[in-house]
Each structure stands twice: as structure tokens, then as C-alpha cells.
């Protein structure tokens, strides 16, 4: 199937080509809209154009490997081979964020000394936070993005994020980490340990205070001790956390960083996309592209237009279906046992199915076209991608899709009528 | 039968129709005479919309509200739940200063991430234990997160050596791991990534997290545009369309393209379904056809409830 694309005019025409100049692309959207595929497509497009590109997925599910046809993608970067007919100076790398391993790396890198490092790694609370709970993904993903951006090993880093409400958490993660390490409650709970040293760090010392009584009754003193130890140990790394949180915030707000919001033309993901877009605007972050995935191919012909789609074929299909209803009795009367009659009946069944399927598809297409017309109007570019009946499973087809998002005007396979449509 | 259980936890990858299935199950059970509590964990209000339609006067509420006969719904609020937990359950005196409590909760939830989950699952399990309802249906979080939620009692057990929270985890685990009482309903669509995630979920639930899978619901199954026997004929027609054109009365190219697209799309999905069915084993499976671009609301919920009833065998 020919892949077609339709964009509407970007709100800021001069920036339309700038998506290809981005150093970081952060791909967001609801679950199940093709976000990972979009991230992989953007990366593949830039890699096949000669850039060194890494795509980082921070979602706990192992999606990216499947999209790229890799058996297993780990915490470390894995290189994916490019098709033979493209610029071989490019590199495509894939990494899936392993929260636990990334935390361990972080501690090893930033712990003030070997003793602190070993005690952090052995703390039961640390193990639990980093191994079992998804929340710590957001923060460590930011750390990882920061580290990769600092290394300057890649011309472009594409980040695939969890569903969009979580993606907000992702944006806020460095700030929350900062708040966490400076919270008043944390000072309270570590107080006995800070003033009394480890040996004196028994809660009996403050047992008369209501706060500790309650905390102790609910959670037990051993647990409180683990908590206190964990934070005391981490305190030595606090300055680094704050410093990196600030750099990450700068990186996210830089003009070389753009967000790409992905959706499908269905109510729930559209709602999520609107929500996320509003959050980006509130934070003054750059919405580089809004992508509507899985648009019915029939809607693609005239995505920005208002006149009815496919009027001729609709008239053909509807008048045929009306006529065939009237003819049903004639058919029943015919000799269905004869070979000609059964051939004739099959042809009729196929004709009816084709007409009905076509009408359904056009109805869906009309609905989707209306959805697209109100979708993320403040994005620098808005792109619709047609639903493909066949799976997208190799780097070359991913790259084709990615190019359509980055540079729609240059899309070689886009029919003339559909190349660019300006809307008022 | 599915509704003989007391707790159904509906989960699935984002966007597969989890909320619709959760509300359809609640609806159907209430229709059969059960007293049902439908719980949404994310407090978006989507579950209530799906039960009674989008109405400006309907806001997510922690306190269960009777939405129709025998059917109540509520939205989870971890902080409210913790308050209730402390007050009625751990026999801790009511706090007068709300600020202290909410600061405390934030701290505890951040320091030990399992606490937020256990407070959430604790409320759900509490409703089951107290038998205020015949059935509790949970519109749970996406597959990636549900495992930590279900795993919370065990995680807390390992993490917290003593204290009241720990002493409460035993009975929760007993409810969650009893297949006669609790079951997960995994919702998916016949697409690649939802299927992959569902298979992963089934593995994890059967592994470390010992919670039974009551049913798998495959949502948005596309209709077969042509019977198998007619497919070969269709291919032949496409190479010589004159006969079809003359029957229909015009150029049928676009009509043929439509059917070609539908056939290929369905075939692609059938491959994912085969893969899923192999992994499911003997767990009951329900197929819900694609119902067009329907807005969530009572009519969509009723339609899905009746389709699920046919598939999973309740009258």
C-alpha cells in the first residue's frame, strides 16, 4: 500500500523544517496508539539519513524490541543494522531502560565513597524502590537522558515515554526528586540518626513524640530505621541530584528538544493528547509535531477538506445495495443448484460485501477527518498517518514513516493532491 | 461462572477498552440480581461516564454512589483510603490536623512506594471482606502497573518487618490468591502490542503474583468481510473486474480496495489472536466485535454486556 501523508500548515512556518535539527525528541501519548513505533520510526529516519541516533524506551513493557525485530534489548545500547541502500555513516541504537540496573549504575557513579556505595546497594528499601515499583522509572529515565545527552555520543536521542499522565510525571520527576530530598518530613524522620549517630539511632529516643509513635505503630521501627538509613546515605549524593535535575530541566526546555504527541482518532487517546498538549503549553515546552496514527486510508484523500468524501463510489455502492434488495426474490427463484447460478450467487455476495465494507469505511473516514480537523492545532506540524493493514516490522519501512513526520514535503510517495494542504 | 467470584480485577493495555469491559461486567452482574460495587482506580470519572453517560453533575467520588439498581460506583483516592484505614481499621485515633496526615501520607507513599498500592488494594479487599456487596469489580490500571498493585501485600511483607500495616497484609493476600473469590479479567485487542503485553501479564500473574486469571476478553474483533470460500473468488474477480463492474453498475475499484484492506487487516490480526490463544490455555475467552466508533456511555456498555453474556455464558 502506498503510504500517504497529509499535513496542515504549521503555525510557525519557519520552524517546519526544524524538527530534523532537534537533538532530543520526546514521544508522548496514550497507551496503544503506536507511540513506540513512532519513536522507532523517527530514529530510523534520522539514522538512515546519516545521523547517530539512539532510541530509548522507558516503558516497563518490552515493546521496542518487537517493533525493531530485535530478540532482546537491554539496559545497554544495542546497535541495529541499517538497510544496505542507505547512508552507512548513520547509526541506529536502541536501549530499554532497566530501572534497577540504571539505579545501580547511578549509585556506583555518584556515591562519595565505596562504603556508602555498598551500604546503599544493600539497603532493603533501596532494593525495593528500584526493583519493584514503576514510579522510579520516571526519575531514572531523566537521569539516563541526561547522561546520554552529556556523552555527546549521539546526534539525536529519541525517548519513548509511558502513557501521557505518566509522561507528566516524567516531566516533573527531577523537581519531585529535589523536593523529596529537602522535605521537612524527611528531616524529621532522619533527625534521631543525624544527631545521635547510628548507635543512638533508636526510636525510643523520640518515642514520646506523637509523630514517631504513629509512624512506629503503622510501619514498625525497623522499617523506619531502613528509611532513615536510606536517606542519610543518599544525602551525600544530594547536590548531584539537584545539579542534574537543573540540567535536565534546561535540556527539556531547550529549543533543540521537541515533543511529539501521538494519538489515534478515538475519543480516549484524543483526550489524552489534548491534556498533554495543554500541559506542554503551560510549561512553555516545544510541541514539535502532533501525529494522528491509524487514520482510515479513505480519509487521507482530503483530510483538511469539508466536502463529502468519495461521493461517486458511495452513490455507486448505495444504489447497488438498494437495487440488489429488490432483486433478491428473483435470485431465490432461480435454480441455485446449477453451477452458473452458484457462480452468480458468489459474485453477488462479493459485490454486496464490497459495497457494504466500502460504505462503512467511508463513514469511519468522515468521522476521523472531523477528528483530525480539531486535533492539536497549536503543534508546529500536524501529521496524519494511514492505518496500514500489514504490520510494520523492518527498519526501512520505519524510516519511511519517520521521514514523513520529519519532512512531509519531501515524501517521495505522497500523491500530488495530498502533499500539503493549507488551512485557514 | 465469572460472577460467583467476589472480586474481579479488570486490566489491560491502555486504550483496549478496559473501562468499557469493567462497566459492562458490573452492569451485567447487577442485572442478574447481584449487589455490585464498581471501583475505578485512577479517578478520571471514565467508569461513571461509561455507566451513566457524560453528565456535568457526575464527579468522581470516594464514597460509593448508587448509579442504578444494585450498582454502586466509586473512585479510589489513596489519601481518603488511608484515613479510613487508620480510623476504622488500625484503630488509630482520627487526626484532627489534616495537614499532618496528608504530609505523612505523601512521605510514607514516597518512601515506601508499596504503601500507596497497599492502601488502594486494601480498600478493595476490605469491601470484599466485609461483604457489603456480592461482587466488587475493579477498573484497574494498565497491565504494567497492575502487577505491582497485586504484589503490594507480599512486597510490604518483605519490606516492613513489623507494624500494623504489615499485620494487615495476610488476609489481603488470602483474598487475592483465592481463585474461588478473586479473578483477573485481562482485556486486549487483536493487535500486536496489546497481545504481547497480555501474554506477559498472564506469565507474571501465574508466576510471582499468585492471582487467578478468570477470563480474557478480546475486544474490537473485526468482522470477516468475506467467507473463506469467497476469498479465492474475490482474488479472481480482482484480476478481471468487468463482471463485478457490470453487476454493480460502475467502476468498482474503490469498493474492491475497501474489501482488500479489510481482508488484510483482519488476517494480520488473526495471526496475533492465534498467538494469544496458544498462551491462554484453558482460561475462558470472550470475543467482542468491533462496534464502530461508539462514544463510551450506557448504550455502548449495555451492548458489550450482552455480548459478553453470550460469550461467557450467563443468561
C-alpha A333/C-alpha A347 separation (Å) is: 17
Shortest CA distance to A6 belongs to which of A250, A290, A301, A231?
Answer: A301
Give the count of beta carbons closer than 10 Å to the beta carbon of residue A150. Answer: 11
Nearest-by-CA chain A residue for B229? A346
Mean pLDDT of all residues in chain B? 85
Closest CA to A423 of A353, A373, A365: A373
Cβ of A180 within 8 Å of Cβ of B110? The answer is: yes
Residues of B in contact with A1 (CB under 8 A): 261
Q: What is the DSSP string of A272-295?
A: HHHHHHHHHHHTT--EEEEEEEEE
Of B14, B111, B200, the CB nearest to A32: B14
**Which has more confidence, B84 or A154?**
A154
| Whole-number pLDDT of residue A331 | 55
Please give the pLDDT value at position B7.
97
List the grid coordinates of A376: 492539536
Cα A93 to Cα A36, A85, A158, A398: the distances in Å are 14, 18, 10, 14
* Alpha carbon of A153: minimum distance to chain B alpha carbons (Å): 30
**CB nearest A269 (choices: B15, B112, B162):** B15
Closest residue in A to B102 (Cα) is A185
In this prediction, residue A313 carries a pLDDT of 92
Whole-number Å distance between alpha carbons of B173 and B175: 5
> B148 vs A134: CB contact, 8 Å cut-off?
yes
The more confidently predicted of residues A391 and B136 is: B136
Give the number of other CB atoms < 10 A from CB of residue B277: 13
Cα separation of A376 and B214, whole Å? Answer: 40
Q: How would you label A237-267 residue by residue, b for 16+ Cβ within 10 Å and e otherwise? A: beeebeebbeebbebbeeeebbbbbbbbbbe
Cβ-based contacts of A264 with chain B (< 8 Å): 15
Return the pLDDT at B99: 53
Query: What is the predicted pLDDT for the residue at A311?
Result: 87
The pLDDT, as a whole number, for residue A422 is 39
Instruction: Tell whether ipTM is more than 0.85.
Output: no
Question: Residue B251 has which C-alpha cell?
Answer: 467502476
Spatial separation of the C-alpha atoms in residues B98 and B103, rounded to whole Å: 9
User: For residue A380, what is the DSSP state?
Assistant: S
Q: What pLDDT shows up at residue A2?
A: 37
In angstroms, what separates the C-alpha of A111 from chain B's closest C-alpha? Answer: 20
Contact A128 B111 (CB under 8 A): no
SS3 B188: strand
Nearest residue to B130 via CA among B67, B175, B80: B175
CA gap A18, A22 in Å, rounded:
7
CB nearest to B142's CB, from A63, A163, A354: A163
C-alpha distance from B162 to closest chain A C-alpha (Å): 5
CB B26 within 8 A of CB B72: no
CA-nearest residue of chain A to B163?
A: A220
SS3 A420: strand
Taking CA–CA distances from A371, the nearest residue in chain B reads B293
Selected residue with higher pLDDT from A167 and B284: B284
Residues of A in contact with B295 (CB under 8 A): 267
Per-residue pLDDT band for B300 (boundaries 50, 70, 90) equals: very high
Mean pLDDT of B266-285: 90
Predicted confidence band at B112 (pLDDT cuts at 50, 70, 90)?
A: low
pLDDT (0 to 100) of residue A414: 35
Q: Are A233 and A120 in contact (CB under 8 A)?
A: yes
Does pLDDT of B181 surpass 90? Answer: yes
Residue B125 CA to residue B301 CA, distance in Å, equals 25
Q: Residue A82: beta bridge partners?
A: none
Return the pLDDT at B175. 94
A contacts of B87 (beta carbons < 8 Å): none
- Out of A17-21, B130-134, B230-234, B277-281, least confident range: A17-21
Residues of B in contact with A185 (CB under 8 A): 103-104, 106-107
Give the whole-angstrom CA distance, residue B156 versus residue A132: 11
Residue A374: which H helix or E strand, with range?
none
- Residues of chain A with pLDDT below 50 are 1-6, 8-17, 60-61, 134, 164, 198-208, 411-424
At A241 the pLDDT is 76
pLDDT at residue number A187: 64
Q: Name the 3-class secondary structure at A24.
A: strand
Q: Which of A260, A274, A258, A259 is nearest to A374 (CA)?
A: A274
**Stretch (H or E) spanning B263:** helix B253-280
d(CA A405, CA A314): 31
A1-15, A339-353, B134-148, B239-253: the lowest-pLDDT one: A1-15
Provide the 10 A C-beta neighbour count for residue A207: 12
- B259 chain-A contacts, CB cut-off 8 A: 350, 353-354, 357-358
**Chain A neighbors of B112, CB-CB under 8 A:** 125, 128-129, 219, 223, 227
Alpha-carbon gap: B315 to the closest alpha carbon of chain A (Å): 31
This prediction has a pTM of: 0.77
Amino acid at each position: 500500500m502506498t503510504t500517504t501523508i497529509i499535513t496542515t500548515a504549521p503555525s510557525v512556518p519557519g520552524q517546519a523544517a526544524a524538527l530534523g535539527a532537534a537533538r532530543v525528541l520526546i514521544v508522548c501519548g496514550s497507551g496503544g496508539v503506536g507511540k513506540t513505533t513512532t519513536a522507532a520510526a523517527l530514529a530510523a529516519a534520522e539514522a538512515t539519513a546519516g545521523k547517530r541516533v539512539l532510541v530509548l524506551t522507558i516503558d516497563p513493557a518490552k515493546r521496542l524490541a518487537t517493533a525493531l525485530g530485535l530478540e532482546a534489548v537491554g539496559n545497554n545500547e544495542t546497535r541495529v543494522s541499517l538497510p544496505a541502500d542507505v547512508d552507512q555513516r548513520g547509526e541506529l541504537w536502541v536501549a530499554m531502560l532497566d530501572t534497577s540496573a540504571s539505579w545501580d549504575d547511578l549509585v556506583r557513579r555518584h556515591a562519595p565513597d565505596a562504603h556508602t556505595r555498598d551500604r546503599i546497594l544493600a539497603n532493603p528499601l533501596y532494593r525495593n524502590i528500584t526493583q519493584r515499583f514503576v514510579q522510579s522509572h520516571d526519575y531514572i529515565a531523566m537521569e539516563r537522558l541526561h547522561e546520554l545527552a552529556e556523552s555527546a555520543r549521539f546526534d539525536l536521542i529519541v525517548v519513548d515515554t509511558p502513557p501521557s499522565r505518566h509522561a507528566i510525571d516524567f516531566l516533573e520527576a527531577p523537581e519531585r526528586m529535589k523536593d523529596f530530598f529537602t522535605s521537612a518530613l524527611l528531616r524529621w524522620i532522619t533527625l534521631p540518626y543525624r544527631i545521635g549517630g547510628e548507635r543512638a539511632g533508636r526510636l525510643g529516643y523520640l518515642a514520646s513524640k506523637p509523630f514517631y509513635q504513629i509512624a512506629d505503630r503503622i510501619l514498625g521501627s525497623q522499617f523506619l530505621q531502613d528509611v532513615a538509613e536510606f536517606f542519610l546515605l543518599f544525602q551525600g549524593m544530594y547536590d548531584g541530584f539537584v545539579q542534574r535535575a537543573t540540567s535536565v530541566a534546561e535540556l527539556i526546555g531547550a529549543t533543540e528538544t521537541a515533543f511529539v504527541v501521538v494519538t489515534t482518532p478515538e475519543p480516549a487517546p484524543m483526550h489524552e493528547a489534548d491534556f498533554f498538549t495543554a500541559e506542554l503549553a503551560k510549561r512553555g515546552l516545544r510541541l514539535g509535531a502532533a501525529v494522528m496514527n491509524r487514520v482510515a486510508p479513505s480519509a487521507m484523500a482530503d483530510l483538511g477538506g469539508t466536502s463529502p468524501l468519495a461521493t461517486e463510489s458511495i452513490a455507486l455502492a448505495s444504489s447497488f445495495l438498494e437495487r440488489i434488495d429488490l432483486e433478491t426474490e428473483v435470485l431465490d427463484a432461480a435454480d441455485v443448484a446449477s453451477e452458473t447460478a452458484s457462480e452468480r450467487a458468489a459474485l453477488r455476495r462479493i459485490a454486496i460485501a464490497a459495497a457494504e465494507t466500502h460504505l462503512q469505511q467511508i463513514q469511519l473516514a468522515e468521522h476521523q477527518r472531523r477528528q483530525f480537523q480539531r486535533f492539536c492545532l497549536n503543534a508546529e506540524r500536524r501529521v496524519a498517518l494511514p492505518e496500514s493493514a500489514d504490520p510494520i516490522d523492518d527498519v526501512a519501512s520505519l524510516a519511511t514513516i519517520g521521514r514523513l513526520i520529519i519532512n512531509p514535503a519531501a515524501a517521495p510517495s505522497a500523491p500530488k493532491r495530498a502533499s500539503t494542504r493549507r488551512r485557514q | 461462572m465469572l460472577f460467583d467470584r467476589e472480586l474481579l480485577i479488570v486490566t489491560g493495555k491502555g486504550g483496549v477498552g478496559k473501562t468499557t469491559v469493567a462497566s459492562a461486567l458490573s452492569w451485567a452482574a447487577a442485572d442478574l440480581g447481584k449487589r455490585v460495587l464498581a471501583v475505578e482506580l485512577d479517578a478520571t470519572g471514565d467508569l461513571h461516564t461509561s455507566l451513566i453517560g457524560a453528565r456535568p453533575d457526575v464527579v468522581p467520588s470516594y464514597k460509593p454512589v448508587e448509579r442504578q439498581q444494585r450498582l454502586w460506583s466509586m473512585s479510589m483516592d489513596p489519601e481518603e483510603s488511608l484515613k479510613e484505614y487508620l480510623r476504622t481499621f488500625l484503630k488509630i485515633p482520627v487526626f484532627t490536623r489534616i495537614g499532618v496526615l496528608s504530609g505523612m501520607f505523601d512521605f510514607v507513599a514516597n518512601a515506601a512506594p508499596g504503601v500507596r498500592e497497599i492502601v488502594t488494594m486494601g480498600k478493595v479487599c476490605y469491601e470484599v471482606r466485609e461483604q457489603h456487596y456480592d461482587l466488587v469489580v475493579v477498573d484497574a490500571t494498565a497491565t504494567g502497573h497492575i502487577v505491582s498493585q497485586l504484589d503490594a501485600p507480599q512486597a510490604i511483607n518483605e519490606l516492613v518487618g513489623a507494624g500494623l500495616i504489615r499485620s494487615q497484609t495476610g488476609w489481603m493476600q488470602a483474598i487475592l490468591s483465592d481463585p474461588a473469590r478473586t479473578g483477573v479479567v485481562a482485556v486486549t485487542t487483536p493487535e500486536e502490542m496489546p497481545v504481547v503485553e497480555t501474554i506477559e501479564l498472564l506469565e507474571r500473574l501465574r508466576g510471582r503474583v499468585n492471582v487467578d486469571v478468570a477470563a480474557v476478553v478480546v475486544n474490537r474483533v473485526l468482522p470477516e468481510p468475506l467467507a473463506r470460500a469467497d476469498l479465492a473468488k474475490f482474488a479472481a474477480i480482482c484480476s478481471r473486474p468487468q463482471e463485478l463492474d457490470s453487476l454493480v453498475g460502475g467502476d468498482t475499484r474503490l469498493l474492491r480496495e475497501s474489501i482488500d484492506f479489510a481482508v488484510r487487516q483482519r488476517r494480520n490480526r488473526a495471526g496475533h489472536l492465534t498467538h494469544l490463544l496458544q498462551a491462554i490455555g484453558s482460561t475462558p475467552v470472550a470475543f467482542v466485535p468491533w462496534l464502530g466508533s461508539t462514544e463510551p456511555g450506557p448504550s455502548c456498555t449495555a451492548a458489550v454486556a450482552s455480548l459478553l453474556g453470550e460469550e461467557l455464558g450467563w443468561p
